[in-house]
Amino acid sequence: MPGVTVKDLNQQEFVRGLAAFLKKSGKLKVPEWVDTVKLAKHKELAPYDENWFYTRAASTARHLYLQGGAGVGSMTKIYGGRQRNRVMPSHFNRSSKSMARRILQALEGMKMVEKDLDGGRKLTPQGQRDLDRNRQTGGNNKKKEKWFLFL
């Protein structure tokens, strides 16, 4: 698929495909306690998906591919959300720094991500190659959608 970049693909399909690749490769180290942890202080429960670690790692790798270098603090801002304060106004809260750090460390263990000299982390050439391969295989699996107009 020459001329097609990661930006041209559907984000959800790409992240699902990359998460499946990470899980199938078996190189990503997943901590034992991932099924019992919340991802942010504004969340009430742990994620329902048991493979959320692979999905978050794939999403993080995609973000590093598109935006360039990013650190733990910027990842907490990206994955943050709204905290509802009952009768008081809602406010933005960042996600867990520990989760962002562990995911970046796991991607470093796979040699997909490396520390940047300017701070933060960036994608390695090997990591970029893995994402490009996933782009090539994931783009061919597009389903043809039918749109119906109901009057």
Given pLDDT bands bounded at 50, 70 and 90, which one contains residue 145? very low
What is the domain count for the chain? 1
Whether 1 maps to a domain, the answer reads no
Whether 47 maps to a domain, the answer reads yes
In this structure, what is the dihedral angle of CA atoms 61, 64, 69, 75, given to the nearest 10 degrees? -70
Whether 25 maps to a domain, the answer reads yes
Whether 20 maps to a domain, the answer reads yes
Residues 87-116 pLDDT 10s: 999 999 999 999 999 999 999 999 999 999
Q: What is the CATH number of the domain that holds 129?
A: 1.10.10.10
- Which structural domain range is residue 108 located in? 6-139
Whether 122 maps to a domain, the answer reads yes
Q: Are strands 88-93 and 81-85 parallel, antiparallel or unpaired?
A: antiparallel
Query: What pLDDT does 68 receive?
Result: 87
Whether 148 maps to a domain, the answer reads no
Whether 151 maps to a domain, the answer reads no
Query: What pLDDT does 132 receive?
Result: 87
Backbone angle region of 143, left / alpha / beta, with phi > 0 → left and psi within -120 to 50 → alpha: beta
Query: What pLDDT does 138 receive?
Result: 55
Whether 49 maps to a domain, the answer reads yes
What pTM was computed for the model? 0.86
Spatial neighbors of 62 by CB under 8 A, at least 6 apart, are 6, 11, 14, 15, 18, 131
Given pLDDT bands bounded at 50, 70 and 90, which one contains residue 1? low
Residues 29-59 pLDDT 10s: 999 999 999 999 999 999 999 999 999 999 9
